[in-house]
Amino acid sequence: MPEIPFIAVGGGLAGAAFALELARHSAPALVLESTRAPHHKVCGEFLSAEAQALAAYLGLDLAAMGATSITTFRLASGPSQAEAPLPFRGAGLSRFRLDQALLDAAEAAGAEVVRGVTVGEVEHLEGRVMVTAATRSFAGRAAALATGKHSLRAFPRPPSDMVGFKIQLRVTQEALRRLANVVQLAMFDGGYVGACIVEDDLVTLCWVMHRTLLQKIGAGWPAQSAYFSQSSKIVADLLHDAVPEWEKPVAVAAIPYGYLRRDIIAPAIFPVGDQLAVIPSLTGDGMAIALYSGIAAAQAILAGDGAAKFQQRLVDRLRPQFRWAGIVNRLFDTRILHRPSVALAGVLPGLVTLIAQSTRLRGFEDVMEGPKPKRSGLKA
């Protein structure tokens, strides 16, 4: 009879990291992923130093995968822009490539990956976790809730009017030259748009906006790109003669920025990634949190800890980072402060570097020491 596995409900960064960490420590792991093939996700695709370190811990060679180098942050509003050095060397790599590499690594380590399974329900019953899809059910000893920005109906998060989009572009050589080694963020009335170069000289453009603005300008790429070009000179320069890789941007709605899940779902259900914490995308640390939480949940299980202890520890660790990220997010959401912020960044680039450092994931190195010795049982 096969051993009852630990189940990752979702095969994104957090779910794949969870399964990979378990599998490479000889624990049975199962990944249930709704999509049937690699696909694009709404993400700025900027990896902080912390995200890169966690990926390396999991055995990924990002440089070999085509990741670009990013050393400078550029902030803009209208015709104004300013630059500041990042407090670390960042990287650009698409989620299309990164997510699949993690799933491949998990499978190579011994995890089972099942694609095309859309989970509708996760329950904790009589010491087991039951995961139910349309026509299939899976039993596990514990589960990581790793459905990303898409929540299961039974585990809602607070509503939000923020909508996120992403598209990849082939831009001119001059635009590539101007964006080399840079992650740029342009503020506009109702949201912001970020850009960086990822593998194969592709540019990822990712943006978030309030639903009221979306209803005003429309969801189509021609209308949205025209709005960005009118709102920001650096975005207009980037989009000039740019060719989108696909016709329609990928999108996700109701993103609850600033959310930290404090309520415990069940003793053996571990929320990870965006199901645990949703940091404003402008900080560029969402991928680090996803990887860290997935690894930490796996190590908690290997140590015999339950979801309550895991969740409390991670929420306490993330709270200071989220406090700073919330302050910066409010600044970006206040139109009257856009131009003064860019002017201040131009005069005091060191302050921008300091703020960027304050929104980093802290204390993540503990998981890279490896899992602690297992105790008996899975505690609540």
Burial class (CB in 10 A: 0-12, 13-18, 19+), 49: middle
Query: How many Cβ atoms are within 10 Å of 251's Cβ, its own excluded?
Result: 13
In a domain, 85, yes or no: no
In a domain, 269, yes or no: yes
Q: Which amino acid is at 178?
A: R
Q: Please tell me the predicted confidence (pLDDT) of residue 170.
A: 98
In a domain, 186, yes or no: no
- In this structure, what token pair is assigned to residue 21? 């960490």
In a domain, 197, yes or no: no
**pLDDT band at residue 358, thresholds of 50, 70 and 90?**
confident
Name which of 206, 215, 204, 205 is nearest 161 in CA terms: 215
Q: Which amino acid is at 347?
A: V
Pairing of strands 128-133, 119-125: antiparallel
Count up the domains in the chain and report the number: 1
For 26-40, the pLDDT digits (tens) are 999 999 999 999 999
Query: Per-residue pLDDT for 377 more than 60?
Result: no
- State the average pLDDT over residues 277-295: 94
Sign of the CA dihedral running 226, 231, 233, 239? negative
In a domain, 294, yes or no: yes
Query: Per-residue pLDDT for 376 more than 50?
Result: no
Of 4-8, 148-152, 214-218, least confident by mean pLDDT is: 148-152
CATH number of residue 30's parent domain: 3.50.50.60
CA 353 to chain centre: 21
How far is residue 234's CA from residue 188's CA, in Å, rounded to a whole number?
Answer: 12
Tracing tokens 């790599």 back to the chain, one arrives at 93
Percent of the chain residues topping a pLDDT of 90: 81
Query: Per-residue pLDDT for 245 more than 70?
Result: yes
In a domain, 315, yes or no: yes
Helices (H), the chain: 13-23, 49-57, 95-109, 173-179, 211-217, 221-231, 233-239, 286-303, 307-332, 338-347, 349-358
List b or e across 55-91, with b for residues whose CB sees 16 or more CB atoms inside 10 angstroms. bebbebebeebbbbebebbbbbbbebbbebebbbebb
Rounded to the nearest integer, the mean pLDDT of the chain is 93
Query: Per-residue pLDDT for 378 more than 80?
Result: no
- Per the CB < 8 A criterion, the answer to whether 168 and 94 are in contact is yes
In a domain, 203, yes or no: no
For 87-108, the pLDDT digits (tens) are 999 999 999 999 999 999 999 9
- Per the CB < 8 A criterion, the answer to whether 234 and 76 are in contact is yes
How far is residue 148's CA from residue 14's CA, in Å, rounded to a whole number?
Answer: 8
In a domain, 198, yes or no: no
For 112-162, the pLDDT digits (tens) are 999 999 999 999 988 899 999 988 999 999 999 999 988 888 999 998 999
Q: What is the pTM assigned to this prediction? A: 0.95
**pLDDT band at residue 379, thresholds of 50, 70 and 90?**
very low
- State the average pLDDT over residues 329-335: 87
Distances (CA, A) of 242 to 94, 245, 292: 18, 10, 35
Query: Which domain, by its residues, includes 105?
Result: 6-39+95-158+256-369
